[in-house]
Amino acid sequence: MLLLVGLGNPGPSYRDNRHNVGFMAVDAIHGRWRLGPYRSKFHGDLADGVIDGEKVLILKPQTYMNESGRAVQAAMTFYKIAPADVVVLHDELDLAAGKLRVKKGGGHAGHNGLRSIQGHVGPDFRRVRIGVGHPGDKDKVVGHVLKDFSKEDRTWLEPLLDGIADGAGLLVKGDDAGFQNKVALAVKPPRPNTPRPDGAGANKEKKD
């Protein structure tokens, strides 16, 4: 069983914040794969179901970001889930907006949600790092992540969430590279092949 954890802050005032993109991502997965309804459990909202043949749990801690580890630890303890079977989806300042990377283990880079989880269960869980860009000044970081996504952001955010939802089957099976590629193609689809003008680029026949 895999535990997918989306990080964010509870309540309508935080719903569209950049810091809540983890909530948005797991909600997209939840809707696409028609998982069971959320219910209040383990200091969070919990749902279960099957993604591409794999049994999964989705957890959205309702403890506020800096106490996310309490919810994660409670769910892991009850279901006897190892850290290697936990995937945390969260906002990432050190990635450009719209970029996504998956990694296992590592530090928390000042992210309070990751810091809390590591404090409760250690660092050996997988992370889906969803880039929201950096404001360029460390003193502006808090304001940046607690600000709503702009209309311009929606041009990449919606395709990215669709890609995450569509690629969740790859994620739960451990195909991190395939998952990353699927999301990247969703955000920036390949250019269609357009017919070239007659004769353009064609090898000309050599004359005798």
In a domain, 198, yes or no: no
Q: Is residue 208 part of a domain?
A: no
Name 40's bridge partners: 45
Three-state secondary-structure class, residue 162: helix
Q: Is residue 155 part of a domain?
A: yes
Q: Answer yes or no: is pLDDT of 137 > 50.
A: yes
- What's the rounded mean pLDDT across residues 140-154? 95
Q: Which secondary structure element, helix H or strand E, spans residue 179, and what is its range? A: helix 176-187
Copy the structure tokens of residue 113. 């949600």
- Evaluate whether residue 201 is within a structural domain: no
The question of whether 19 is a catalytic residue gets the answer yes
Phi and psi at 46, nearest 5°, equal -125, 135
Q: Which residues contact 36 (CB under 8 A, 6 or more apart)?
A: 47, 48, 49
Whether residue 202 lies inside any domain: the answer is no
Indicate the range of 100-104, 119-123, 187-191 predicted with least confidence.
187-191
In a domain, 153, yes or no: yes
- Residues 111, 197: Cα–Cα separation, whole Å: 52
> What's the pLDDT at 196?
55
Distance, CA of 182 to CA of 168 (rounded, Å): 10
The domain tally of the chain equals 1
Cα(129)–Cα(91) distance, integer angstroms: 6
pLDDT over 50 (residue 140): yes
pLDDT 10s digits, 55-82: 999 999 999 999 999 999 999 999 999 9
Q: Is the dihedral of CA 99, 105, 107, 108 positive or negative?
A: positive
The catalytic position among 19, 30, 111, 144 is 19
What is the structure's pLDDT at 185? 96
- Give one word for 118, left, alpha or beta, with left for phi > 0 and alpha for psi -120 to 50: alpha
Confirm whether 78 is domain-assigned. Answer: yes
**What CATH code is carried by the domain that includes residue 74?**
3.40.50.1470
Do residues 4 and 30 touch, judged by C-beta distance below 8 A?
no
* Of residues 1, 2, 14, the one with CA closest to residue 128: 2
pLDDT at 195: 59
DSSP 116: H
Within a domain: 205: no
Mean pLDDT over 129-143 rounds to 94
**Best CA proximity match to 153, nearest among 60, 28, 57, 17:** 17
207 band by pLDDT with thresholds 50, 70 and 90: very low
- Give residue 123's identity as a one-letter amino acid code: P
Q: What is the mean pLDDT of residues 2-7?
A: 98
Domain containing residue 179: 2-187
* Of 165, 6, 17, residue with least CA distance to 75: 6
